[in-house]
Structure 1
Amino acid sequence: MSVLVVGMSHKSAPIDVLERASLDTDAAVKLSHLVLEAPFVSESVVISTCNRVEIYVEAERFHGAVEEVSRLLAEHSGLDRDDFVRHVYVHFDEAAVAHLFGVAAGMDSMILGESQILGQVRDALHSAQAEQTVGSALNALFQQALRIGKRGHAETGIDRLAPSIVTAGLDAAGAVVDADDTRFLVAGAGTMASLAVRTLINRGVAPSHIMVANRTFQRAYALVATFGVSAVRWEAMDVELAATDVLISCTGATGVVFDRERIARAGAGRSMALIDLALPRDIDPGVRDVDGVDLIDLVVLARLGENTELAGDVEQVRAIVEDEVRTFLAAKAASHITPTVVALRTMATDVVAAELARIETRLPDLTADELAAVRKALHRVAEKLIHAPTVRVQQLIDGRADLTYAEALADLFALDQSTVDAVTQVKGESS
C-alpha cells in the first residue's frame, strides 16, 4: 500500500480552472466517499482551499487508483480530458509524502510561507476522521505533516511576510486598511471570514468599524458574539456597501456576488478597496474598470507571492522537509518489515522446539545437561542462519524506502503469510 495524491493548485492551473474544480465542505465530503469506493483505494483525504484541490489516498495499486481518482476529480470539475491532464499533477509514494510535507510547511502556498494552510490541512484530516474515510496510514502521514508545518514556522522566519492570505490581501490594500476612519465590510461568515475579522481586530481596527454580512444571518451574528463586531442582513447589504471603504469577500457562493454594476453603484466615484478571497470568485474582475476601485483577488495575490526575500528561510524549510521525508519513510519501511523479521525468528524458534522434542523422544537417555547443550547448540545454529538476512533488512530500512526485500525474505524462508499478518495485527492492537 502506498500514498497517492492527485490535485491542482495555483501553480498548475489558472484561477478560472481552479474555480471549476473548487469544493465547498459538502462537496469535499461527498468526493472523499466516492474516492473511497474506487478500486484499490483504502483511505482518502480531500484538501480544498482557495488555491488548491487535492485528493490523497492510500492505494494498493498505482495505475488503477490514479485512473479512478483522476476520473472522479475530472468529472467534478467538468473539465474535458485535455484540459484536465494539462493542469493536474500526480505524486506517488516518496514524492507524495514530500509534497504534503511541503504544503503543510507553506512551501507550495500562493503566499510563500503562510501558516493558514496548517489549519486547512488539519480541517481536512478532522473531516476525514469524522467521515471515517481515513485510516492509520493517512492519519499518521497527516499528523506528521502538521508537526512539520509547525516545526518549519518555529525554526525559520518563513511566515514573516504574511502569516495568511488574509494578511497578504490587507497588506496589498495599502494605507487605507490602517486609517482610523476606515469602514470594513466582511461578506461571509465561514472560517475565512472569521480569520478576516480576527486579523482586522489584531491590527487595531475597532470592532465598531467592522460589519459582517451573510446569507444566514445567524451565522453572521455568531461573529458578532465572538468579536463584538456588527452584523447586517444580506438583503440590506447594499446600504452598508455604499459606506464601505474596504470590502473583504469570502462567501463560498457558486457564482459572482458583486458584479460591476453593483460595485459602481456603491462606489459612486469614491475610492474602494475590494479583497476577494473566495474561490469561485465573489467579485467580478470587470470591477477593475470602475473608477476609484482597487481589486485584490487571488490572481493579484499569486503575483505578490512570487518573491525572493525568503530564500534563506526557504532553504531551511526545504532541508527540514527532506529530513522529515527520510525519517517518515524509514519508519514506514520498518513498520512493514518488522513483522516479517519477527515471523522469521518465530519460525526459527518453532523449528528448534520441534527438533528438541524429536531428540527427547528418540534419545530418552540424554541427561539434563546434555539436553541443555543440544538446546543451546540448536539455538546458536538458528541464530546464525537468520542473522545475516535480518541485518540486511535493517540496512534496507536505513538506506532505502523499498519494501520488496521483506516480501523476498518471506518467500525465501517460506514464511506463512498468515503468521506475518498475525504479527502485524497483534502489533497494531498493542500500539
Structure 2
Amino acid sequence: MSLLVVGLNHRTAPTSLLEQASVSGDDTPKVLHDLADAAHVTEAVVLSTCNRTEIYADVETFHGGVADISDQLSRICGIDLGDLAGHLYVHHDARAVGHLFSVVCGLDSMLVGESQILGQVRGAFRAGQAAGVAGSALSGLFQAALRVGKRAHSETSIDAAGASIVAVGIRLAASSLGILSEVPAVPVAPPGGAAGELGGAAVLAAPVAEPPPLAGARVLLIGAGAVGSLAAQTARRAGAAEIVIANRTPARAARVAEMHGGRAVSLADLPHEILMADLVISSTGATGLVVEHDLVAAALPGRGGRPLVFLDLALPHDIDPGVRALPGVSLIDLEALRVALDGAQVAHDVEAVRALVSTEVAGFLDRRRAGRVAPTVVALRAHADSVVHGELARLHSRLPDLDDREWELVEGAVRRVVDKLLHAPTVRVQQLAGAPGGDSYAEALRELFDLPREVPAVVSAPDLDLVERS
C-alpha cells in the first residue's frame, strides 16, 4: 500500500475548470464510494475548495491508483481525461505527505497563511470517515496533518503573510490617491496580538497618522473569496467611506458585503461602479482579464479628473496592464507589492513553517516505517509464544511428577531464553525501519520464520477514540 494524491488547483487550472471539478457536500459520499469500488484504491478522502480539488488515497499500486483517481476526476469534471491531464498533479508517498502538510498550513493557498483551509481539511477527513473509506492509513496521515496545521498557526505569524500583502497594497493605493504623502513601513501583527482577525488571519491595525489611509474613499472589490473578504476588512479599517463588492456569484458577494458593511452588485454593474470608485481591488482568480482597457477608458470622461487606482491581487492578472497608460490611472500589481513589501518578518514566518513541515514529514515517515514493522514483530512474538506453549505442553506430559513450584521454574526459564533470543532482532528491526530500505528487514524476518502475511488484529484495529477526538 502507498499514499497518493492527484488533484488540480488555482496554479494548474482555470477558475472555470475548478468550478467543474468542485465536489459538493451532497455529492461527496458517492464520489468516495466510487473511489472505494475502484480496483486499486483502498482508502480515500476528497478535499474540494474554491481553489482546489484533490483526492488523497491509499492505493495498492501507483500506476493503477493514478489511473483510477484520474478517471474519477475526469467524470467529476465532465471532460475527457486527455484534456484534463495537463491540469493534474500527482504526489506519491513522501511528497504526498509533504503536500498535505503544506496545504493545511496555508503554504499552498492563493492567500498564503490563510487558516480557513485547516477547517476544510478537517471536514474532508470527517466526510471520509463518515463514508467508511478513510481507514487507518489516511486517518494517521490526516490526524498528523491537522496537528501540524495547528502548530503552524499557533507557533508562527504565518497568518499575517497574506494580510501584510493586502495592507501594503492598500497603503500604496492610498499614496497614489494622494491621501498619504508616503508609505511607512508596515508592522506585522504577532500571533494573538491586538490586530484584527479574519478567519485567524492577523490584519494590520489602522496607522496612528490622521486621516486614515482611505478616509472618504469609495472602494470597489471585484471577487468575494478569501482575498476579497480580507481586502474588504482591511479597507474598512483603513477608513473607506463606501465598500462595494462585485462577484460572479451574487450570494457570495452579498455575504461578504454583509460581513463588512458594504453593498453587493453584479459584474454587469462594473462600468458604473468603476465610474464612481476611487480604488478598485480585484482578486477573482479568473484566467482572463476581468477589467479591460476600453472599459476603464470609457469611464474616465465622467470622473471629472479624479485619480483612479487599481490594486490587482490576482494571479494571473485581472486588470489589463494597458490601463497604466490612461491619464489619472494607476495600477499596482503583485510584482509591485513584492518590491514595496518589507517582507523580512513575513519571509521568516513562511520559512519557519516550511522548516516545521519538513521536520514533521520526516517524523511522520519514520513513524510510518516503524508501524509497518510492528505487525512483523507482533507476528514473530506470537509465533514464538505458540512454539513455547506447544513445547511446554509436551514437556509437561513427559515430566508429570514435577510440582507446581518446579514447573513454574521450568516454564520461566524456557520463556526467558526465547525472550532473550528475540530481543535483539526485534529491537534492531524497529531501529532499522526508519532507514532507507527498512521494509526489507521486516520482509527478511517474515521469510526466515515463515510468518503469516496477515496483519494481527491487535495492530490493524484503528484507535476509534483517537479518531473521534481528532
TM score, norm. by length of structure 1: 0.75
Q: CA 1:322 to 1:220, structure 2 compared with 1: closer, same or farther past 3 Å?
A: closer
Alignment partner of 1:19 is 2:54: no
Q: CA 1:44 to 1:218, structure 2 compared with 1: closer, same or farther past 3 Å?
A: closer
Shift in Å, 1:354: 2.6
Deviations 1:328-369 (A, max 9, x none): 112222333323322322232232223223333343222212
Preserved CA contact (<8 Å) 2:369 2:439: yes
Preserved CA contact (<8 Å) 1:47 1:121: no
Match of 2:195 in 1: none
Among residues 276, 282, 288, which one is paired with 1:249 in the alignment?
Answer: 282
2:332, 2:68 → 1: CA distance?
A: 37
Match of 2:382 in 1: 346
Preserved CA contact (<8 Å) 2:6 2:56: yes
Matches within 5 A, 1:17-416: 18-19=13-14, 22-24=17-19, 27-28=22-23, 33=32, 38-41=38-41, 42-46=43-47, 55-69=55-69, 90-105=90-105, 114-116=112-114, 118-120=115-117, 122-127=119-124, 129-130=126-127, 132=131, 134-152=134-152, 154-156=154-156, 162-163=162-163, 166-167=166-167, 169-170=169-170, 173=173, 175=175, 176=177, 178-201=213-236, 203-206=237-240, 208-214=241-247, 217-232=250-265, 236-250=269-283, 257-268=290-301, 270-277=306-313, 283=319, 287=323, 290-296=326-332, 316-399=352-435, 402-416=438-452
Shift in Å, 1:383: 0.9
Amino acid at match of 1:145: A
Q: CA 1:19 to 1:45, structure 2 compared with 1: closer, same or farther past 3 Å?
A: same
Shift in Å, 1:327: 1.5
Q: What residue ranges of structure 2 are gaps of 5+ in the alignment?
A: 180-212
Give % identity.
Answer: 42
1:122, 1:240 → 2: CA distance?
A: 35
Deviations 1:162-209 (A, max 9, x none): 4476456546645349231221122344444333323333x4335x52
Preserved CA contact (<8 Å) 1:6 1:91: yes
Amino acid at match of 1:239: H
Q: CA 1:27 to 1:282, structure 2 compared with 1: closer, same or farther past 3 Å?
A: farther
Shift in Å, 1:54: 5.2
Deviations 1:352-391 (A, max 9, x none): 2232233333432222122112211221122123212211
Q: CA 1:235 to 1:8, structure 2 compared with 1: closer, same or farther past 3 Å?
A: closer
2:124, 2:281 → 1: CA distance?
A: 26
1:140, 1:56 → 2: CA distance?
A: 13
Please state whether the residue corresponding to 1:241 is helix, strand or coil: helix
Please state whether the residue corresponding to 2:408 is helix, strand or coil: helix
Matches within 5 A, 1:412-423: 412-418=448-454, 420-423=455-458
Answer with 253-262 or 173-182: which moved more: 253-262
1:171, 1:61 → 2: CA distance?
A: 52
Q: CA 1:97 to 1:427, structure 2 compared with 1: closer, same or farther past 3 Å?
A: closer
Q: CA RMSD in A?
A: 4.4
Deviations 1:97-140 (A, max 9, x none): 234334544555677xx311x42354244245336465543344
Preserved CA contact (<8 Å) 2:243 2:261: no
Please state whether the residue corresponding to 1:263 is helix, strand or coil: helix
Preserved CA contact (<8 Å) 2:45 2:125: yes
Q: What residue ranges of structure 1 are gaps of 5+ in the alignment?
A: none
Paired residues, number? 418
1:194, 1:312 → 2: CA distance?
A: 25
TM score, norm. by length of structure 2: 0.70
Preserved CA contact (<8 Å) 1:5 1:57: yes
User: More helix by proportion, 1 or 2?
Assistant: 1
Shift in Å, 1:242: 1.7
Q: CA 1:48 to 1:216, structure 2 compared with 1: closer, same or farther past 3 Å?
A: closer
Shift in Å, 1:221: 3.6
Amino acid at match of 1:3: L
Please state whether the residue corresponding to 1:24 is helix, strand or coil: helix
Q: CA 1:135 to 1:243, structure 2 compared with 1: closer, same or farther past 3 Å?
A: farther
